[in-house]
């Protein structure tokens, strides 16, 4: 296995969630050397995020659906970790570059360890193939009061609960759109929070038009039934075609206003009802995290939920030779789909590196592809059902901060569009600084793109940013230095329980 920066791994995998983990163990079992990089100290990604061993969780599975799938991947990782997989935990990857011409078929992954003021150090990893399994982040749409402390991402509340065993409040309204809301509400209720309401902007009728796809995915229906039953048991009411249109409180959440929406997500005047709560967990689905891929020139496709996803072929290849992707990067579809795609990608990579394309023609690959296609079809139904309607911009007032980092209000963005002629998110950014802050537009990007397009219903353009995460100038300067050898992370014994 490579042990210094000048050595070459067969494959570098960015992201150790469901897709990356599945890809890593499959690739190693096929005899490839693997570098597995992730920002977290743990493997499992966001879906299988779990408490650190020191928290002594005896039943981490109580906060998870399908924990056994993760345990199985983790066991396989432990058995290949000494031979095939170099785990690089706590590595924030900020760019991938193609190697110089004399080494045409190699990639260099640039990362920093010890981020956030903890002895930041640059690291470079070289590999013959690249598998991007960077997952997704939560899509947010702003509304009056959404910057008040106590308003947290729905996925954020879930993440803090899964890893830190904490809640943002005692009475938590869950709002936004997408299947994650039911999972979050049921986790919060299980963990002791009162959930006065789940507020879903879409109707669920969108699913009913696709009965055949639903029937072909019984495991997904079972998952929904589990969450639905849990919500019933906890007396949680789900209000569809509704949204939180105002948050009340001076320095923290005291209540929210829930309004009815019409078909296009336009709030219906006079329908606002106040719901007392001390926290609000909100999210409008997930958006694929594809900055590293788009910076390499990988083609994207508009997904049915209005996000941009990577365009992938039947064997998980991006449009750039040597670069594969799996999981949410190719369109949001959940952990089981990600596990299937990670395996498929690894088999495809092994076939390519060994020069034996026939290795992807067997019955196992055919069955993996069928499962993948079936789950992708379900993901498309979900995506279409929860695509934001163009009317959501009507619940903004001019004072609502759209860009949380730079504190740019909806009024200033509208001014840039109507008075100054901006027609896209990039021009709005240059005029107002919206999307120019620390988060690099992840929180406001979808909203700014809609406001810039004025109609409200335009898929956001794929962002191209040369750096995927903020890095220090020192890390950039180190590009010229040779000594940036990775130090592998050992597997801790209780990880994955």
Partner 1 sequence: MARTPAELVGARPEPPFEITFDDRTITALPGQSVAAALWGAGILAWRTTRGTGRPRGAFCGIGQCYDCLATINGTPNRRACLVPARPGDAVTTQEGNGHAELSV
Q: How far is the CB of 144 from partner 1 (least distance, A)?
A: 14
Taking phi over 0 as left and psi of -120 to 50 as alpha, with beta for the rest, 455 belongs to alpha
φ, ψ of residue 321 to 5 degrees: the values are: -55, 135
Angstrom distance (rounded) from CA 365 to CA 355: 17
Tokens 């998110």 belong to residue: 425
Build a one-symbol-per-residue string for 146-185: x at contacts with partner 1 by CB under 8 A, - elsewhere: -x-xxxxx-xxxxxxx-xxxxxxx----------------
- The yes or no reply on residue 91 touching partner 1 (CB under 8 A) is no
CA dist list (Å): 92 to 258, 267, 339: 38, 40, 22
Conformational region of residue 90, where left means phi above 0, alpha means psi within -120 to 50, and beta covers everything else: left
User: Are 266 and 158 spatial neighbours (Cβ–Cβ below 8 Å)?
Assistant: no
Q: Copy the structure tokens of residue 479.
A: 């590009």
User: How far apart are the C-alpha atoms of 428 and 46, rounded to whole Å?
Assistant: 31
The DSSP bridge pattern shows strands 300-302 and 308-310 to be antiparallel
Q: Which of 18, 26, 33, 46 binds partner 1 (CB under 8 A)?
A: 46
Show contacts with partner 1 in window 469-488 (CB under 8 A): 470
The residues in 245-264 that bind partner 1, with binding defined as CB under 8 A, are 251-252
The residue among 233 and 370 lying less far from partner 1, judged by its C-beta, is: 233
Gap between the Cα atoms of 360 and 364, Å rounded: 9
Sketch the per residue contact string, 103 through 142, with partner 1: x for CB under 8 A, - otherwise: ------------xxxx------------------xx----
Tokens of 236: 């949680």
**Residue of 53, 203, 235, 297 that binds partner 1 (CB under 8 A):** 53
According to CB under 8 A, which residues from 329 to 368 bind partner 1? none
State in angstroms the smallest separation of the CB of 442 from partner 1.
5
| Among 70-78, 186-194, 324-332, 481-489, the segment contacting partner 1 (CB under 8 A) | 186-194
Q: Which of 59, 466, 490, 493 binds partner 1 (CB under 8 A)?
A: 59
Rounded distance between C-alpha atoms, residue 277 and residue 447, angstroms = 26
Please name every residue paired with 109 in a beta bridge, in sequence order, or none if there are none: 96, 125
CB nearer to partner 1: pick between 194 and 371: 194
Out of 3, 62, 205, 356, the residue judged to bind partner 1 by CB under 8 A: 62
Nearer to partner 1, 114 or 390 (CB): 114
Q: Output the smallest distance, CB 44 to partner 1, in A.
A: 12
Contact residues for partner 1 (CB under 8 A)?
Answer: 39, 46, 51-60, 62-63, 115-118, 137-138, 147, 149-153, 155-161, 163-169, 190-192, 251-252, 279, 404-407, 437-439, 442-443, 470
């Amino acid at each position: 296995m490579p042990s210094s920066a000048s050595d070459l791994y067969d494959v570098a995998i960015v992201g150790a969630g469901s897709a990356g983990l599945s890809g890593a163990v499959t690739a190693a079992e096929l005899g490839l050397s693997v570098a597995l990089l992730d920002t977290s100290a743990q493997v499992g990604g966001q879906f299988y995020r779990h408490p650190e061993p020191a928290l002594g969780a005896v039943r981490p599975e109580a906060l998870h659906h399908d924990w056994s799938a993760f345990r199985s991947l983790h066991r396989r990782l432990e058995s290949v970790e000494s031979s095939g997989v170099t785990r690089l935990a706590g590595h924030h990857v900020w760019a991938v570059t193609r190697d110089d011409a004399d080494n045409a078929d190699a990639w260099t992954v640039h990362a920093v360890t010890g981020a956030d003021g903890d002895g930041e150090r640059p690291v470079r990893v070289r590999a013959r193939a690249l598998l991007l399994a960077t997952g997704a982040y939560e899509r947010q749409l702003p509304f009056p009061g959404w910057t008040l402390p106590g308003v947290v991402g729905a996925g954020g509340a879930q993440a803090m609960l899964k890893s830190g065993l904490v809640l943002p409040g005692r009475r938590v309204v869950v709002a936004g759109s997408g299947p994650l809301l039911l999972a979050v509400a049921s986790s919060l209720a299980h963990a002791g929070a009162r959930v006065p309401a789940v507020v879903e902007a879409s109707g669920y009728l969108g699913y009913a038009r696709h009965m055949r796809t639903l029937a072909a995915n019984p495991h997904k229906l079972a998952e929904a039934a589990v969450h639905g039953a849990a919500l019933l048991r906890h007396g949680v009411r789900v209000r569809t075609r509704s949204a939180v249109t105002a948050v009340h409180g001076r320095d923290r959440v005291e209540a929210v206003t829930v309004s009815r929406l019409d078909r296009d997500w336009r709030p219906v005047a006079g329908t606002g009802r106040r719901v007392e709560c001390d926290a609000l967990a909100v999210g409008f689905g997930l958006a694929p995290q594809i900055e590293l891929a788009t910076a390499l020139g990988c083609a994207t496709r508009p997904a049915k939920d209005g996000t941009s996803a990577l365009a992938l072929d039947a064997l998980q290849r991006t449009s750039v030779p040597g670069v594969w992707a799996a999981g949410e990067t190719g369109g949001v579809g959940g952990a089981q789909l990600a596990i299937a795609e990670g395996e498929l990608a690894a088999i495809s990579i092994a076939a390519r590196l060994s020069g034996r394309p026939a290795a992807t023609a067997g019955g196992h690959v055919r069955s993996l592809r069928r499962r993948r296609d079936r789950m992708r079809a379900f993901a498309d139904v979900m995506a279409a059902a929860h695509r934001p309607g163009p009317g959501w911009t009507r619940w903004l007032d001019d004072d609502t901060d759209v860009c949380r980092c730079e504190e740019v209000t909806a009024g200033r963005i509208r001014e840039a569009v109507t008075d100054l002629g901006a027609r896209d998110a990039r021009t709005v950014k240059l005029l107002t600084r919206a999307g120019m802050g620390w988060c690099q537009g992840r929180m406001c990007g979808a909203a700014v793109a809609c406001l810039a397009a004025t109609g409200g219903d335009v898929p956001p353009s794929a962002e191209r940013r040369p750096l995927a995460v903020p890095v220090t100038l020192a890390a950039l300067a180190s590009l010229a230095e040779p000594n940036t050898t990775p130090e592998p992370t050992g597997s801790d014994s209780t990880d994955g329980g």
